[in-house]
Amino acid sequence: MNKALRKAIIAGNWKMNKTPAEAAALASSIKSLAAQRDCQVVLAVPFVDLAAVGEAIKDSGIYLGAQNCHWASNGAFTGEISPQMLVECGVSHVILGHSERRQYFGETDETVNRRLLAALEAGLHVILCVGEQLSQREQGITREICAMQVKIALGGVTREQMERVVIAYEPVWAIGTGKTATAAQADEVCGAIRQVVEELYDSSVAQALTIQYGGSMNAGNAQELLDQPNVDGGLIGGASLKGEDFAKIIAAASR
Ligand code: PEP
């Protein structure tokens, strides 16, 4: 299987932006701007926006996503949300292990693994984020860092469950900074991640896996990044909050 046969997925990570009313307006505009497309689209929105966005994208084929979930199905975990709660809200995809969760909220590879297993068990699709910090790239250990994050996060995940896993390679130094990895850098690390998945499973699982690039992807640089053989889509933060820019990225992935 080659890139042409993998699912191209463009996911917008809205982070902590948009009230429910603002979110509904943005989702409606994306729905109409991206009505013609040939890729999957996911909107990963704040928990409080799920109902409004779910309503706005009804019957559009756009998938509703969340930005995190807990590993327990219920219990004394104040402030947390379980995978089962997300499913009942119409969520199909959840981002896990985003670098902002790792940096600001103490997320570790082990907790990412627990969340990921629980999300898959509940039937969700997972967008697993991995990526190196600038100092790690400068030390020449990008591949090792990403391999370790992937291996720990995927511990206990079955071959069948891998059909519902997407990996997003997001160099931490490129997220929200305006600094994008070059197309060659993005392709190299996405290829290395595919190799790790092949070692963990086999070539057919690795070749079927959608691997996204994320980190200051925008309407201007998306095409070159998405044209790389190992880059199957994008996880987009800032540019996903501007309907027209996000629609241009969707168009780039649809060519
Ligand atoms: C992200 O939040 O995953 C991201 C890639 O953000 P940005 O596109 O703003 O760099």
Spell out the domain ranges in the chain. Answer: 9-253
Task: Decide: 225 in ligand 1 pocket, CB within 6 A.
Answer: no
pLDDT per residue rounded down to tens, the chain (255 residues): 578 889 899 999 999 999 999 999 999 999 999 999 999 999 999 999 999 999 999 999 999 999 999 999 999 999 999 999 999 999 999 999 999 999 999 999 999 999 999 999 999 999 999 999 999 999 999 999 999 999 999 999 999 999 999 999 999 999 999 989 999 999 999 999 999 999 999 999 999 999 999 999 999 999 999 999 999 999 999 999 999 999 999 999 998
Specify the pLDDT at position 82: 98
Show which residues are catalytic: 98, 170
Atom of ligand 1 lying closest to residue 95 CA = 3
Q: State the distance from the centre of ligand 1 to the C-alpha of 98, rounded, in angstroms.
A: 9
Pick the CATH number of 9-253 from 3.30.70.100, 3.20.20.70, 3.40.50.970, 3.30.420.250: 3.20.20.70
Specify the pLDDT at position 5: 82
Pocket test for ligand 1, best of 175, 179, 231 (most atoms within 8 A of CB): 175
Pocket test for ligand 1, best of 93, 100, 217 (most atoms within 8 A of CB): 217
Q: Residue of the nearest CA to atom 8 in ligand 1?
A: 237
For residue 156, what are its two tokens? Answer: 């206990």
pTM: 0.97
Q: State the distance from the centre of ligand 1 to the C-alpha of 149, rounded, in angstroms.
A: 18
Contact call for residues 127 and 235 (beta carbons, < 8 A): yes
